[in-house]
A = this chain, B = another copy of it.
């Protein structure tokens, strides 16, 4: 095991605009008990990375504080003590609490999943954060079932495009909103059943499309400004899960309306979870979602790929909402 020396990584020099990111040398990480070290093929860029870069979303305890990055694909490079499942050379992917924009990452072996043979490592790099988030939020937490309806706000986002595919494979009907017509078209091509412009009339459209009954599950990647509409369109016993609030966090809520619908609102985040919870998610994901890739029912959606010295550019594209699907950083 080469356990000393250095690697390349994208570091944050303080908090600020994209320019605080730069490619630097960093110490090579060492796998601890139960951990593996992975030579990274691609690092995914996520909206949460922008918040972290601006100093508003620090890494949870135990994760690198100055290297952003919440996911990776790559090849197992070294094993810590007590790792049974993995061998050097195995192709893996997974989510991280931080440190993903790097040539090497260490993470607990139970929280990663194998890359299906049908995918190359670049495609795989577009999977972990968005497909795990969509699966965890809509299916594991909100219990989306076959025959139910799922409304996805910001359907052109990474999580949105993953949710469309997972819901379709599960037999649920999907409705999705976006303010960008081109993104709605592309989401429809991925299998979105009902593409809805994200203008003021979206609640009426949702009610029309559901014969007035509303939707069973709402996957919310927008936040506050849509809350009033979400309260109008949630079905009796409907479940609304909040995964992101880029448009604003604070809004007015009507608790009596929630009682009448017996509605649920839940906030969620993957990053802060401990190893045990992440391992449980990885296991369920491997069993239920991973088989959808070889079968062709799900495909990673990649918008574009950057070299490590272009990390700031990747952040600018995401800040401008100019991507459809994932932005990746490719190493070597």
Residues of B within 8 A of A259 (CB): 242-245, 267-269
From the candidates B244, B265, B272, name the one contacting A264 in the complex (CB within 8 A): B265
Would you call A255 and B245 a contact (CB within 8 A)?
yes
A interface residues with partner B (beta carbon < 8 Å): 220, 223-224, 227, 242-245, 249-269, 272
- Residue among B242, B254, B262 making CB contact with A255, cutoff 8 Å: B242
A264 neighbours in B (Cβ, 8 Å): 264-267
Of A243, A256, A260, the most chain B CB neighbours within 10 A belong to A256
Distance of A227 Cα from B252 Cα, bound (Å): 11
* Given the contacts A242-B258, A260-B267, A265-B258, A252 and B249 also touching, CB distance less than 8 Å: no
**Can you name 5 A-B residue pairings with CB atoms under 8 Å?**
A245-B259, A252-B253, A258-B265, A262-B269, A263-B266
Chain B residues with CB below 8 A from A227, complex form = 253, 255
Asked, given contacts A264-B266, A269-B262, whether A245 binds B256 with beta carbons under 8 Å apart, the answer is yes
The contact of A266 among B244, B249, B262, by CB within 8 Å, is B262
A259 to B223: give the CA distance in the assembly, Å. 11
Choose one: B243, B260, B267; the contact of A261 (CB below 8 Å): B267
